[in-house]
């Protein structure tokens, strides 16, 4: 990405757009702190924006804009960069690289670049200066997470890290699990325990009911050993979920872009799956009277 020309100027708060704000989170506590800072110290640094269709659209500084509106400020100092919407979206991560962004916010940015702007995953990785597997993981995260659960995160009802754990569940169980987390006020660690139990459970609804009533599993020194059938059921669930993610990534990623890093591994897993398929077929035939 090349350096873009930019200029700082005063822009009326009413003229600042925030179409890209859906890619960021803004919880009530951080907004309150921003209002207090803006009221006491004034605007310490300019917000960042770009020109689009005659309007000035923000890509950094959404909390400052909302705090300014709440305080009734007329204008803000804005650095208007000579970039388009794609470059602005890329810079949303670049400006907060290594700090400030949650995994879910990064996933929203990746999805916007891939789905809205039709950029291939390899090109996204190059623009964000990260590995293609990171892009694939972020895309899988956001597309595996139920939209209702994402809405809970946006409303500040569910912690982003808790939502990442919930994403490991089948979509049909995610909203119910998130509801329990919100209702009981579970911590991220407790959410991880709930999800782990749900993944292992033969009857997920019974687990949800117990947690909903405030009865998480008791701590015990020795965990009951799983039966062979339970172990196989868990392995089937794990393989099915992992295979689904892998298939989704391969379907949208040109093989030439991943062959150097994953080519041998894909060949190996193909052989393993073929052997497993033959064993399953043989076992099922042998069980028929």
Q: What is the per-residue DSSP string for 48-103?
A: EEEEETTEEEEEE-HHHHHHHHHHT--EEEEEEES--HHHHHHHHHHTTTTTT--H
Using the predicted structure, report yes or no on whether residue 264 has a pLDDT greater than 90. no
CA atoms within 13 Å, Cβ hemisphere of 75? 9
pLDDT digits (tens, 9 = 90+) for 77-108: 999 999 999 999 999 999 887 677 999 999 99
Give the whole-angstrom CA distance, residue 96 versus residue 180.
32
Which of residues 225 and 199 earns the better pLDDT score? 199
- Sorting pLDDT into bands at 50, 70 and 90, what band is 279? confident
Give the whole-angstrom CA distance, residue 17 versus residue 169.
36
Tokens (6 digits) for 95: 């400006």
Please choose, from the candidates 144, 202, 204, 154, the residue with its C-alpha nearest in 3D space to the C-alpha of residue 180.
204
Using the predicted structure, report yes or no on whether residue 4 has a pLDDT greater than 60. no
Share of the chain above pLDDT 90, in %: 62
Are the C-beta atoms of 47 and 63 separated by less than 8 Å?
A: no
Which range, of 123-132, 149-158, 225-234, averages the lowest pLDDT?
A: 225-234
Are the C-beta atoms of 206 and 223 separated by less than 8 Å?
A: no
Q: Is 275 exposed, middle or buried (0-12, 13-18, 19+ CB in 10 A)?
A: exposed
CATH architecture of 7-82: Alpha-Beta Complex (3.90)
Q: Residue ranges per domain, the chain?
A: 7-82, 158-218
- Sorting pLDDT into bands at 50, 70 and 90, what band is 2? very low
pLDDT digits (tens, 9 = 90+) for 131-176: 999 999 999 999 999 999 999 999 999 999 999 999 999 998 999 9
What's 16's DSSP letter? E
Using the predicted structure, report yes or no on whether residue 195 has a pLDDT greater than 50. yes
Q: What is the per-residue DSSP string for 111-133?
A: HIIIIIS---HHHHHHHHTS-HH
Q: CA distances (Å), 256 to each of 67, 178, 248, 262, in order?
A: 47, 39, 16, 10
- Identify any residues that bridge with 58 across adjacent strands, giving them in sequence order: 49
Are the C-beta atoms of 34 and 63 separated by less than 8 Å?
A: yes
Q: CA distances (Å), 60 to each of 20, 37, 121, 124, 225, in order?
A: 9, 17, 24, 20, 51
């Amino acid at each position: 990405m090349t350096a873009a020309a930019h200029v700082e100027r005063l822009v009326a708060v009413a003229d600042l757009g925030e179409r890209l704000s859906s890619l960021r989170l803004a919880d009530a506590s951080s907004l309150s702190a921003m209002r207090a800072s803006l009221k006491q110290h004034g605007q310490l640094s300019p917000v960042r924006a770009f020109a689009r269709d005659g309007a000035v659209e923000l890509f950094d500084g959404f909390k400052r804009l909302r705090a300014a509106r709440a305080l009734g400020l007329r204008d803000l100092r804005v650095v208007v960069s000579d970039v388009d919407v794609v470059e602005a979206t890329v810079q949303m991560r670049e400006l907060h690289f290594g700090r400030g962004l949650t995994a879910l916010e990064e996933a929203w940015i990746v999805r916007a670049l891939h789905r809205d702007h039709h950029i291939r995953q390899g090109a996204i990785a190059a623009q964000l200066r990260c590995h293609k597997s990171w892009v694939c993981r972020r895309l899988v995260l956001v597309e595996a997470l139920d939209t209702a659960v994402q809405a809970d995160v946006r409303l500040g009802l569910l912690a982003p890290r808790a939502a990442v754990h919930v994403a490991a569940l089948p979509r049909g169980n995610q909203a119910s699990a998130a509801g329990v987390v919100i209702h009981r006020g579970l911590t991220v660690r407790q959410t991880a325990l709930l999800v782990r139990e749900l993944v292992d459970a033969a009857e997920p609804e019974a687990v949800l009911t117990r947690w909903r009533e405030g009865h998480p599993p008791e701590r015990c020194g020795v965990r009951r050993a799983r039966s062979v059938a339970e172990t196989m059921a868990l392995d089937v669930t794990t393989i099915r979920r992992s295979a689904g993610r892998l298939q989704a990534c391969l379907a949208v990623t040109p093989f030439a872009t991943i062959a150097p890093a994953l080519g041998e591994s894909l060949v190996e897993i193909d052989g393993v799956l073929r052997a497993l398929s033959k064993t399953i077929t043989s076992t099922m035939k042998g069980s028929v009277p």
